[in-house]
Chain A
Amino acid sequence: MTPGLSMPNTAPAARQPAHAAWQAAGFALLAALAVLPWFSGPFALHLAIQVCLNVLIVGGLALIDRAGQLSFGHSAPVAVGAYASVLLGQWLGLDSLSALLAALALAAVLALALGWVILRLRGVYFVLVTFAFAELVRLLLLDFAGVTGGASGIAGIAPMAVAGFAFDTRERFYALALAVALLSVLLLARVYDRPLGRAMAAVAANPALAESVGLSVLRVQLVAYVLGSTMAALGGVLTVRYIGFVSPESFATAASVAFITMLVIGGRGSLFGPLAGAIVLTPLPELFRGAVQTQHLFYGAALIVILRFLPGGIASVPARLRNLRGRA
């Protein structure tokens, strides 16, 4: 994603047209893939919606990872967004859009407060604390049954509606999810390309040096953490508006593991990593619904294969192919 600077000097002019052609072909394929679900029945639409929501949520995780911290509790902000939009909507009598905004604001404030404390931890300590926090959120949702409905959750959640237009069919909701997923990728592209995004990369690459050139590691990571958590919260809000039901079961450790798996298999450090990971991994458990256990088998096996043979993830394949052809 950093054209020019890191490219070797071997005749970039000669390679550029072919590169552009492949890129155009890739985008055309993605566009076709994005349109197809509308003509492929409810199951394909359902899968496509899940993919879009995962692109958004895993995009948030990628942003936090970009600044050098790996969250093992990314299901927590998703849960906060989901429950906050429903409960705030009920208590304050908000419409779905105002409830969404209120939920995002709450998630951002929570991430700011939590991040201020835990982003001082590094490496495995941060991973463990985020894991513990996500479990805490899930247990609170289970135990305060009077408010949250406990294990039976909350049903009958009204669909998303904006200015009187309800996204109450799969076809309509897919349009919304697709737009949000696309915007999330554009947001990441914009952030990565700006000084703030480069500061994130610098902080991740060498925190001590970044600090000594005037980049506050804490502040840079805090921005990434708040932004990434808010993206996850938006994913949570949209998920419950789509499903119409929410329970703590959706926010177990398995969800956080799935998000990390998608990020790693899609490609850490690559703009299209979350997209690639969500597209490849979201359908797997849905296609093998019969045995819930097989989901983790597939995820585990895929993780091992990717880490062994393709540490840059699926999104690094085009660059690898280009390198191979360049050498030949």
Chain B
Amino acid sequence: MTTPLLQVQGLGKRFGGLAAVKDLSFDVRAGEIVGLIGPNGAGKTTAFNLISGALPPSEGQVLFAGTDLTGARPSTVVAAGLTRTFQSTTTFAAESVQRNIEHALLSRLAGTATQRLMGRRERLLAPGDAAAEVDRLLDIVELQAWRHQSASTLAYGLQKKLGIAIALATRPAMLLLDEPAAGLNHEECHALTRLLRRLRDEQRLTLLLVEHHMAVVMEVCDRIVVLVQGGKIAEGTPAQVRDNPDVVEAYLGAPEHAHA
């Protein structure tokens, strides 16, 4: 078995006396879709922020493709090939869909001052190929028809798609998706599931998603890591996790979920 693409080892984060994440270890292999689930306040988003560089960890390590990214700035993590999306829709609101994606391509434009300033060396793009790359990305998320519309005027589901296209523009090897299904209706959830599969199968991406929406997680994930109160309590295939008594008790058995 080859080395995993992402290795999280003994990761922990304390906010004052509160341990939001403690001793979290798991691997993600290239080409996998892994879900990170847990009840509210389990530390999923904190774990996500630690991996993506938005927060420095108190202890532990994040290794990505053999590189130690522990405590690196987000832009450095992105340059290494690991890009995140945001839970709330996050775009350059005043700009058009096309301009949003162009912004996201900037650090990859080979030979420009910006590329050198960011120290980016992998997966560069010749400036002359930028327009074709924008087209390719719009095709992937099916946003061609909205390319001249400003991001803030897009419907919610489309803004989430734009968020994914922005992340894809950095040409990551692995995508961290923060609750991609939140706020989507039934139909949009299906489209999202199909999109995530396509990203893995056609774009050869590895995916790690934090998600509340159980149907999406169970359908799309190869493996699931379950967090409760900052610690990992289970890990396995969707079927294994669903049948794990600890998970049922700590997560699905919680009173507010009993009738869901």
* A199: Cβ under 8 A from any B Cβ: yes
Kindly count the residue-residue contacts between A and B in the assembled complex, taking CB atoms under 8 Å apart.
102
Of the residues A198, A201, A213, contact of B170 by C-beta under 8 Å: A213
- In this complex, what residue of B is CB-closest to A206? B92
* A210: Cβ under 8 A from any B Cβ: yes
Q: How far is the CA of A223 from the CA of B54 in the complex (A)?
A: 22
Residues of B within 8 A of A214 (CB): 75, 78-79, 83, 106-108, 118, 120, 170
Residues of A within 8 A of B86 (CB): 208-209, 212
Of the residues B84, B92, B115, B118, contact of A202 by C-beta under 8 Å: B92
* A3: Cβ under 8 A from any B Cβ: no
Q: How many residues of B contact A (CB 8 A)?
A: 41
* A5: Cβ under 8 A from any B Cβ: yes
* B70: Cβ under 8 A from any A Cβ: no
Q: How far is the CA of A213 from the CA of B104 in the complex (A)?
A: 5
- Of the listed stretches B94-102, B182-190, B205-213, B238-246, chain A binds B94-102
- In this complex, what residue of B is CB-closest to A210? B103
Of the residues A5, A194, A216, A223, contact of B99 by C-beta under 8 Å: A5
Residues of B within 8 A of A199 (CB): 103, 106-107, 114
Q: How far is the CA of A21 from the CA of B99 in the complex (A)?
A: 28
Q: How far is the CA of A214 from the CA of B91 in the complex (A)?
A: 14
Given A213-B166, A214-B118, A216-B117, A195 and B96 contact (CB-CB distance below 8 Å): no
Please give the distance in Å from B82's CB to the nearest CB on chain A.
10
Contact (Cβ within 8 A) A216 B118: yes
Residues of A within 8 A of B99 (CB): 2, 5-6
Of the residues A6, A9, A202, A209, contact of B106 by C-beta under 8 Å: A202
Contact (Cβ within 8 A) A213 B102: no
Q: How far is the CA of A210 from the CA of B109 in the complex (A)?
A: 15
Q: How far is the CA of A286 from the CA of B79 in the complex (A)?
A: 52
* A215: Cβ under 8 A from any B Cβ: yes
Q: How far is the CA of A210 from the CA of B79 in the complex (A)?
A: 13
* A106: Cβ under 8 A from any B Cβ: no
- In this complex, what residue of B is CB-closest to A222? B117
The CB with the most chain A CB atoms within 10 A, among B75, B90, B98, B108, is that of B75
Residues of A within 8 A of B94 (CB): 205
* B112: Cβ under 8 A from any A Cβ: yes
**Contact string against B for A residues 165-202, beta-carbon threshold 8 Å, 1 for contact and 0 otherwise:** 00000000000000000000000000000111011011
- In this complex, what residue of A is CB-closest to B92? A205
* B52: Cβ under 8 A from any A Cβ: yes
Residues of B within 8 A of A208 (CB): 54, 86, 90
Given A195-B112, A214-B75, A9 and B148 contact (CB-CB distance below 8 Å): yes
By a beta-carbon cutoff of 8 Å, the part of chain B in contact with chain A is 52, 54, 73-76, 78-79, 83-84, 86, 90-96, 98-99, 102-104, 106-109, 112-115, 117-118, 120, 127, 148, 150, 166-167, 169-170
Enumerate 9 A-B pairs (CB-CB under 8 Å) in ascending A order. Answer: A5-B99, A195-B106, A195-B115, A196-B117, A198-B102, A209-B86, A213-B106, A216-B76, A217-B75
| Minimum-distance CB pairs A-B, first 3 | A214-B107, A214-B78, A213-B104
